[in-house]
Amino acid sequence: MPTNPGTAIVCDESGYEGEKLVGGVTDVFAHASIRLDEETAAACVAELRARIKSPATMYKANHLLRAKHRATLLWFLGPDGPLPGNASVFVIDKSYFLITALVDLLGAPPSTTTFLYDAHRRTAQAREFLDTANDYLRAHETAVLPRLDPLLPAIIRAANHWSDGTPVLIAHDRQTTLSPARITALREKSPAIAAIEQLDSFVDHRVQIADFLAGITYRILSGRLHGNDDPEVIAALTPYLDPESLWITPWLSAAAPA
């Protein structure tokens, strides 16, 4: 059974390249948080194995995204799966995240955000400008919590989402960026965080479930950015998409929960 609301969540991400937000391999960052106990998560993984029948030691989102496993993917996301009421995904369009940080830093008018975002989708020159700006901001960052690291606001948002007024215990898949200093700074910044511990996805089924959800979301919404929509899966993902995701409209507006 799920844990009591707001007490403990498990998180994992997909599309993470640290503070490299443009010019890298990924254009979307998805951070999933789930509220399941280990027994429930283990039963879900066992069910996925029975349905998929892959000999792989470790299942990943790409197993579920294969066309031949479409029914299993929809079961995992659907009302008969383990996720309804127990999962949330915070999504970041990484170019948009960079542009909003740059506009805020420069004190430019808010309309500059839309201008730069539209330009970067149309011209190589704008993309080169953002790549240079990204490198510059990274090189001159000195804060314990870097403004361009999408994992940090995602963790804070997960705690705020699940908190029932009391601090949330967060277990996260291991990340080298989550140093003791950063964990302390995150707890100081957000009173909704009681503690952050790091788990190994190879031994914790809850992390595997979060990894599935984050990976599916990353792939589907990255495809959406490039005009490759999957309406059926987007509809199944909709209940889990955090409405505070950092995404310029109208790219996410048709998929976001009401």
Q: Is the pLDDT of residue 2 over 70?
A: no
Q: For the domain bounded by 8-240, which CATH number is listed? A: 3.30.420
118-135 pLDDT, tens digit each:
999 899 999 999 999 999
Q: Is the pLDDT of residue 1 over 60?
A: no
Sheet holding 28-34, edge to edge: 87-93, 28-34, 8-14, 168-173, 193-199
80-103 pLDDT, tens digit each:
999 999 999 999 999 999 999 999
Please report which confidence band the pLDDT of residue 177 belongs to, taking 50, 70 and 90 as the band edges: very high
Residue type at position 15: G
Q: Is the pLDDT of residue 19 over 90?
A: yes
What does the alpha-carbon distance between residue 172 and residue 175 come to, in Å, rounded to a whole number? 8
Length of the chain: 258
Long-range contact set of residues 228-232: C-beta below 8 Å, sequence gap at least 24: 232/74
* Spatial CA neighbour of 171 closest among 2, 10, 3: 10
Mean pLDDT of the chain: 91
DSSP letters for 26-44: -SEEEEEEE---HHHHHHH
Please report which confidence band the pLDDT of residue 56 belongs to, taking 50, 70 and 90 as the band edges: low
Q: What is the DSSP letter of 4?
A: P
What does the alpha-carbon distance between residue 209 and residue 186 come to, in Å, rounded to a whole number? 24
pLDDT at 197: 95
pLDDT at 258: 38
